[in-house]
Each structure stands twice: as structure tokens, then as C-alpha cells.
Chain A
Amino acid sequence: MSAVGTALRLAPLFRQSPLRRGPADTAGSAAGRDGAAAALPVVSFAVVTTLALLVVAGARVFFSWDDELGLTYRMLAKIALALLLVPLGSVGASAARTAARRRDDRLASLRLLGATSGTLTVLTVLEAAAMAVVGALAGSVLYLALAPVVGLLHFRGAALGAQMWMPWWWIPLIAAAVVLLGAVSALAGLRAVAVTPLGVRTRQRPARTHWARIAAAVGLAAGAVVVLQILPAFAELGGVLVMIAVLGAAFGAGLLALDLIGPWVLRVAAGIKHRRARDVTRLIAARTILDDPKAAWRQVGGLAVTSFVGVFAAGGLAFSRLAASDDLDSAEQYLLQDIATGVLVTLAGSFVMVACSIGLNQAAATLDRAEVLVSMDRLGMPRRTMTDAARTAVMSALWVVSGGSALCAVLLLAPLLGIALFVQPLAIVTVAAVFAAGFLLVRGALLLASRLVPGILARPERVL
């Protein structure tokens, strides 16, 4: 009770970010950028809420169909939801981490004054939740504005239209879930930092990947492959529902395997790049990944699944267009078209969320490194080198993750994709264009995050 009581008494004092205080904030571009840094978590919670509401609204439409193809649509909706939930959770966690970094100096000062870790924890969770509430409100408004636009998408031969409007009470329910996600993620984020009277620092963790993780990943992947080989047997044993459950479990095992082996793959790739680095930008970029491969993986891992599924999507898209031209009834024709639309929407949604997550993580990392950035500036390191190093670290990890996953999928589907490229080149080009747009989106998010650097360097006394 005492920790909660103290935190509640202190909370009103923390309503304004220190980055927003000071006479210089009344004018000047640096102050504007600092304000943007403080607004980042709120904006990100708003994005999470909007995306969550749009995804749920879309899924509700699919679940409302109970004709003979309804089960298929529901299954496809579940797959799309599963694919979107991972990056959505990632955006939420990034938002909470960014929020946690903002209040460093205040937490450290409180620690110096003798505040208990309990008080700091409650204060952190309260502040993250408060920002999530503001973000969720803004996100709900944004959903209301975007729902008619998403409603233009056609499924089963008609626009989604007014079906994108959910019953009003769904909105506060989902907004509350986002606030809860913010609070829980803030708790998890606090576990990753050490609050001392001298400041808040990310806890040092061993950089090496334990061999047991790799062994577990290989075991899980092998298990998933075996299960997929005998999938029809599950259908015979327990029917379609059991088969779907086993398929979901195999998919989950694959994701877990990726999560276990991903940091190791990034570390190996960064090690090679480090040995070959000839300039400061590439040297720092490679070392940034080597320093914490797990953090690098957290930033770009969401794209592994998206890329893997994207290649399958390209094949699926091509064959659905091929099949659509055959003698199918109209409902089946629509189903094949809808799969194509769903695939593209899911891919695009994934990229939007991954770009949000990467932008937020990069913003948090930039604020985290403010002291070093100022010192490098004083040594005469060009600002371009600093921002390029940060961008190269993320983009090189992104290429490894995305390229690696896509390559695995291409190898699995090699003959089919070859045929698809020959007979339906437009489908492959469409998916490739979504990928290119996704990468541009990520670069844009990194560019936005890098705009924090001039603000930090303009007011070095705030960080030293």
C-alpha cells in the first residue's frame, strides 16, 4: 500500500516531461524535436489502438459469415490474426520501453532520495498506463476516421463498408486491452533496466547465445516439420478442428524456433560484417548488433514471419489467380480472390506494425545513447556518421532476417514459385512491391527516429 500511496502522491509531479520544461522550449526547433520525443509513446499507443481496432473489426466480419465457406474464412481470419498479433505485441512493448526511457532522470533522482523499487515500479506502470489511455483515446478517434477507408476493401464480391463499424462497446474494451498491454509491457521493460541513484541503465546481459537455445530451436523446427508431414493423420483421428489445432501448434513451434535461433544468426552475420568493416559507420553498426543480438532480434524479428509468409503469399496469390480462371462457382472464385486480398492486407499491416516498432525502438535507443552521442559530437564525429551507423545496424539486421526467411521459403517453394513467376508474374511483382514499400516504410521510421539526434546535440547540457 505504501509504495502505491507514495507513487500516487508523486504521480501529479511527473505529468510533464523534463524534456518539455525550460525556457528554450517556448521556441526553437530543438525544443520541437524534444517535444516529439516525449510524444512518441502516446503516438505509438495511438497507432497500436487504431491497428488493433481495424484488425478486430475486419476479423469480426469474417467471423460473422456462417455459410458453408464460413469455416474457411474463419480459419483464414485466425491465421491473419495470429500473424498480426506478434508485430502488434512488439509495437506495444516498444511503446512501453520508449515510455520507460523518458523518465530516466526522474527515476534516478527519486532513487537517490530513497524511493523504494516498489514506488518506482508503481510510478512507471501508472505513467505508462496514463500515456496508453491518452494514446488509446486518440487511436479510437483515428479508427473512426480510417474505418470507412478500410471499408472500401472488397471481400466476397462486396465492399466491407459499414461492417467495419463495430458495436460501440467494443472500442473501450479494446482500448482497455491496449492500456493493459502498456502497463504490463512497462513492468517487463522495467525488468530490463537498472534504476540506480546515478541513473537508469539497460542491464548488461551476456551477449553469447547458449548452445542449448540453438539445440532447442533445431528440435522445435524438426518437430514442426515432422508434424506437418503427418498432418492428414490428425484430421483422420480428430477431425478438422484437431488438424487446425495441430497446425497452429506447429506454426507456434516454428515461431518459437525462430525466436530462439534468430539472435544467434544475427550474431554470426554481424561477426562477419565486423571483420570486413572498413569504415566507422559499418564498424559501429556491426558492433551494435554484436553487443546485444537479442535486442537487435527484438527489433526486426517480427519481419521474419512476415517475410516467410510473404513468399508463400506470392505463390498463393499466383495460384489463386490461376485457379480463379478455371470453372469454379462464384463463391469459390471469391474465396480465391479474398485470399489474395487478405494476404496483401496482412503483409501491409505487418509492415506498418514492424516499421512502428522499429521506429520506436530506435527512438528509445537514441535517447539511451544521448550521452555518447554528445561525446562523439565533441570529438568531431560527423552527425551523419552517428545516424548512418544506427540506421545501418537496423537495416543490415533487417536484410539478414528478412532475406534469410524469404530465402528459406523460396527454397521450400522453389519449383512452384518458378512456375508462378512464369505464368503469373504480376502476382510475384505485387508481393515484391509490398516488400519494397515495407522496407521503405522501415527506412522512413528510422529517418524519423534519427531526427532526435540534432535535438540531443543542440542541448548537450541536458545529458552530461
Chain B
Amino acid sequence: MTAPARPTAPARPTAPALLTAQGLSHTYPDSSTPALRGVDLRIDVGESVAIMGASGSGKSTLLHALAGIIAPSAGSIVLNTPAGPIRMEELNENQRASVRRRDLGFVFQQGLLLHELSALENVAVALMLGGTPRPEAELAAAQWLARLGLAGLEQRRLGELSGGQAQRVAIARAQVTGARLIFADEPTGALDSTTSAEVLDLLLDSVEPSDARSGGRSLVVVTHDRAVAERCARLVTLSDGRIVSDEVGRGADRTADAAAGAQTAGERA
């Protein structure tokens, strides 16, 4: 008995993509084997995309390239921002850091927060780096922490938070700047199943379709956990640095519902 074939991802709409990667290839300086081989990928506004693959398949390299953490050996990446399209391959290290700070959000496996700062300060720092004065940054950070269920824990330090709480702080930090694209690298890898589901819910809740009021927000999750991946709207599978499948995930219904809701709200407005 064979498993029913999954539907492949539908043809991309004609509206401008949030991020487009074409012909991405990358070989690390100390390796002769390419980590990425000619990857094409488009991420639209309001999408949640899971990138899956075995260890060494190139999924983390793809995330790092898309996010401007590394400069790929070949290929192009265009990120559409409110200020206009940015061609990532044309930027130097400092300019890419500036894009990451301003336009992208990140959630890592261990949260990777500054352990000496409080939860509130860890979130506020993301805004302060962009020039927001501390009082305003801390006010916005407190609002995000409250929204993610951490009201009352603002002054706690990393060592005083559970793994799930620390990930919520990281999620708040990723969203507080208004980033339209959030990258999550194994965000539930260090959590138990219950907390993992809660954290994933929060990440998927951060996905917003484009509507009249907001620019929308998308999520790219790198995971080796199929259960996590299937909750996203798209599942992109990598093998040996190539995309071998691009399927619709269970989260597609959620995305469609949210988009319909946003459209209705837009029409009402």
C-alpha cells in the first residue's frame, strides 16, 4: 500500500513575492561538497513555510542564505521591504546585518538570548538597535511579552525562565520590530511536546496575511520534525542541497482562513 500523493504547492500568484531566491548555490570554504545546488524558492506574504530535510541536506544553509547570514556562492535573493526591493547579493556584511536588524526576525533552537539582560530588555534591545529610545522600546517590549503570556515576568532573567518561556521571549524579540519575515531554526528542538506545540502555535499565530492595515508577516521554519513541518502551509524538502518536493501542508487551511478573514475585514473597512 502506498501513501496517497500529497498535493504539490499551487502555482505562485502574480503579486510581488516577499522574498525570491533564484539559482542559490553555496559551498563552504573548508568543503568541496556544495551545501546548496541551484535552489529556487519564493515566499509570499502571509505564508508559513517549513524547510525539511535530513541532517546535511542544506536546510540550515538555505535559511542562512535567505536571511543574509551568509552570502551564497552564486544566485540571487530579492527581499521586498516597505522601502523597496533589496538585492541581498549586492550587500556587504554590514548592510546585510542592517537588513536583518530592520526587516527580519529570528528564533533559534535555544532562544539564544543575552543571559545578563532581563526578558524585557532582551526584547527591547531589538528596537534600541534600530534607534528607538529605551523608554519607548521597553513599553513596546512589555506589550509584546504580555501578548505572548509573559506579563509579570518582564524582569526575570534567562536562568529564571523555563525553556518555553525563553522561546516566547525570543518570539517577542523577533516580532517587536515589525519584521515581515521571521526565520525560525529548529525552534522547538529543545522543548517537550506540550511546550513545543504551544511555541509553534505562537509562531504560526505571528503569520499575518497582507491586508489594508498591515503589510502581513511570513514565517520560515527549519525543522527535522515532520509533525512541526506539517502544521505549516508549505513543506519544502531538501536533499543534497536541492529542493526535492514543495507540498501543501495542513497549515494551508489556516492560512486560507486567515486570508479570507483579512479580506473581509478589509472590505468592511
A residues adjacent to B (C-beta < 8 A):
22-24, 28, 204, 277-280, 283-284, 287-288, 290-291, 371-372, 375-383, 385
Contacts and interface: CB of A to CB of B under 8 A. Distances in A.
Contact of B129 (A280, A371, A378): A280
B94 A378 contact: no
Interface of B: 29-30, 67, 69, 94, 97-102, 104, 106, 108, 110, 112, 114-117, 121, 125-126, 128-129, 133-134, 159, 173
Contact of A385 (B30, B129, B173): B129
A283 B101 contact: no
A378 B106 contact: yes
A287 B30 CA distance: 37
B30 A24 contact: yes
A284 B129 contact: no
A372 B112 contact: yes
A379 B17 CA distance: 23
A379 B126 contact: yes
Given A277-B134, A375-B112, A284 B126 contact: no
A327 B125 CA distance: 67
Contacts of A287: 114, 116-117, 121
A366 B31 CA distance: 27
B128 A382 contact: no
B193 to A, nearest CB: 20
Nearest to A277: B134
Contact of A382 (B29, B30, B97, B159): B97
A375 B101 CA distance: 12
B116 A380 contact: no
The 5 closest A-B pairs by CB, nearest first: A380-B101, A375-B112, A380-B100, A291-B116, A24-B30
A293 B184 CA distance: 34
Contact of A288 (B98, B116, B126, B173): B116
Given A284-B114, A380-B99, A204 B134 contact: no
A382 B94 CA distance: 7
19 contacts: A23-B30, A24-B29, A277-B134, A279-B134, A280-B129, A283-B117, A284-B125, A287-B121, A290-B116, A372-B112, A375-B106, A378-B67, A378-B106, A379-B106, A379-B129, A380-B100, A380-B101, A380-B102, A382-B97
Contacts of B100: 378-380
Contacts of B29: 24, 28
B138 to A, nearest CB: 10
Contacts of B112: 371-372, 375
A291 B101 contact: no
B97 A380 contact: yes
A87 to B, nearest CB: 26
B66 to A, nearest CB: 12
Nearest to B126: A379
A280 B159 contact: no
A11 B100 CA distance: 43
B134 A278 contact: yes
A379 B101 contact: yes
Contact of A279 (B104, B108, B110, B128): B128
B12 to A, nearest CB: 28
A290 B69 CA distance: 31
Q: Which among B30, B99, B101, B121 has the greatest number of chain A C-beta atoms within 10 A?
A: B30
B52 to A, nearest CB: 20
Contacts of B129: 280, 379-382, 385
B99 A284 contact: no
A366 B58 CA distance: 29
Contacts of B125: 280, 283-284, 381
Contacts of A24: 29-30
Contacts of B110: 371
Nearest to A30: B29
A18 B30 CA distance: 15
B101 A381 contact: yes
Nearest to B127: A280
A383 to B, nearest CB: 8
A22 B155 CA distance: 42
Given A283-B125, A379-B101, A278 B133 contact: yes
Contact of B97 (A23, A28, A278, A377): A377
A380 B100 CA distance: 5
Contacts of B67: 378
A376 to B, nearest CB: 7
Q: Which among B69, B104, B116 has the greatest number of chain A C-beta atoms within 10 A?
A: B116
A243 B117 CA distance: 50
Contacts of B117: 283-284, 287
Contacts of B101: 379-381
A284 B116 contact: yes
Nearest to B68: A380
Given A278-B134, A283-B125, A375 B116 contact: no
Given A287-B117, A380-B99, 9 more contacts: A24-B29, A283-B125, A287-B116, A372-B114, A375-B112, A378-B69, A378-B100, A379-B173, A381-B125
A367 to B, nearest CB: 15
Contacts of A383: 97
Nearest to B124: A283
A377 B121 CA distance: 17
B128 A283 contact: yes
Nearest to A283: B121
A290 to B, nearest CB: 7
Given A280-B129, A291-B116, A22 B30 contact: yes
A383 B97 CA distance: 9
A33 to B, nearest CB: 15
Given A372-B115, A378-B69, A280 B128 contact: yes
A284 B100 CA distance: 20
Contact of B159 (A204, A290, A371): A204
Q: Which among A204, A372, A378 has the greatest number of chain B C-beta atoms within 10 A?
A: A378
A382 B97 CA distance: 7
Contacts of A378: 67, 69, 100, 106, 108
A390 to B, nearest CB: 11
B98 A380 contact: yes
A103 to B, nearest CB: 22
Nearest to A282: B134
Nearest to A460: B69
Q: Which among A23, A277, A379 has the greatest number of chain B C-beta atoms within 10 A?
A: A379
Nearest to B130: A380
A23 B226 CA distance: 35
Nearest to A28: B29
Nearest to B174: A379
A28 B121 CA distance: 37
Nearest to A461: B28
A288 B98 CA distance: 25
